[in-house]
Amino acid sequence: MLPHRIQFRGIERTLKAFLNTYNRRNRRKTMKKIGFIGVGIMGKSMVKNLMKAGFELHIYARTKSKVNDVIEEGAIFHETIGECVRASEAVITMVGFPQDVEEVYFDEGNIMDQAEKGMYLIDMTTTSPMISKKIYEEGKKKGVHVVDAPVTGGDTGAKAGTLSILVGGNKEDYEACMPLFEAMGTNINYQGEAGCGQHAKMVNQIMIAGTMSGLCEALSYAKAKDLDCETVLKSVATGAAGSKQLDFFGEKILHGDYTPGFFMKHFIKDMKIALIEANQCELDLDVLSQTLANYEVLEAEGYGDLGTQALIKYYEEGYNEEIIED
């Protein structure tokens, strides 16, 4: 009798796998109406790429005039978050700060109030892992699928549809949302349970903090020693010190271009989250702590709406002249 039991179990596993695949494919086919809340610098490009992929986009923004361009391209505007959610089968959020995430999900009449059983909620904001877990647990009570899916790649990656997307939550939900992710990014990876997407994003932000600090300190040194910064950058870019941060921001720094692909104030928020999480596991991150302190000096001087590359201004104060090519 034992071989028959083994055979039956094998058939049962095969049938279960087939049904799971079938259900995921059906969810992919039916998830066409997508709500998008937080249509900012990166959000606009993400909305446009979703529409290019054939999704019907329903959007909410506090100021309608700021999203007229995506409305003209076919996005459907809603006056309230609740209206946007009710019109959608899945909702993506891409807002600024943790308090914004809590507001759009938990304030009366907003996402959790309006989300129906079976709906998918995808928070692509970089926020606290604790908030991601809270949204997941509340969604679970309502029969709503929740994933945290912060991104990296900046406005350039958002425009090109090449974002890296770091996903936390149930793996089945990650797979069901893959068509949405594939419309916005190319490097899409499942990180683990709810909140793990945010933890992985903190790893990214810690790396950026150290790299940007190193880049700005190095350029400050080059200027202090009367080197030609353009030549120095060209020389080191293909060596061991080469990095995407150097490739993308080096020239911008030299030419005083502080246009935000990612706001300094949002990066400060991310570094604070990373330090809180690090402190909870008694981990000292000295470079991150100092980088945050340097950025906070600049924010206090009114530079919070500049791009992260404006960190060079902190070092300019020390040398009393700008590292900008004439």
| Residues annotated as part of the active site | 201
Q: Are 190 and 167 in contact (CB under 8 A)?
A: yes
Q: What is the spatial distance between Cα 92 and Cα 121, in angstroms, rounded to a whole number?
A: 6
Q: Are 313 and 303 in contact (CB under 8 A)?
A: yes
Q: Are 146 and 194 in contact (CB under 8 A)?
A: yes
- The beta strands (E) that lie in 10-152 are given as 33-37, 56-60, 76-78, 90-93, 120-123, 145-148, 151-152
Q: What is the spatial distance between Cα 310 and Cα 307, in angstroms, rounded to a whole number?
A: 6
Q: What is the spatial distance between Cα 261 and Cα 305, in angstroms, rounded to a whole number?
A: 10
Q: Are 198 and 150 in contact (CB under 8 A)?
A: yes
Minimal CA–CA distance to 163: which of 146, 176, 182, 179?
A: 182
Q: Can you tell me which residue has the tokens 């903090």?
A: 209
Instruction: Please state the separation of Cα 7 from the chain's center in Å.
Output: 46
What angle do helix axes 229-236 and 196-224 make, rounded to 10 degrees?
130
Task: Please name the helix (run of DSSP H) or strand (run of DSSP E) that holds residue 165, with its range, or none.
Answer: strand 163-168
Relative to beta strand 163-168, strand 151-152 is antiparallel
Instruction: Please state the separation of Cα 6 from the chain's center in Å.
Output: 46
Q: What is the spatial distance between Cα 163 and Cα 160, in angstroms, rounded to a whole number?
A: 8
Please state the φ and ψ torsions of residue 59, each to the nearest 5 degrees.
-125, 155
Q: What is the spatial distance between Cα 111 and Cα 86, in angstroms, rounded to a whole number?
A: 9
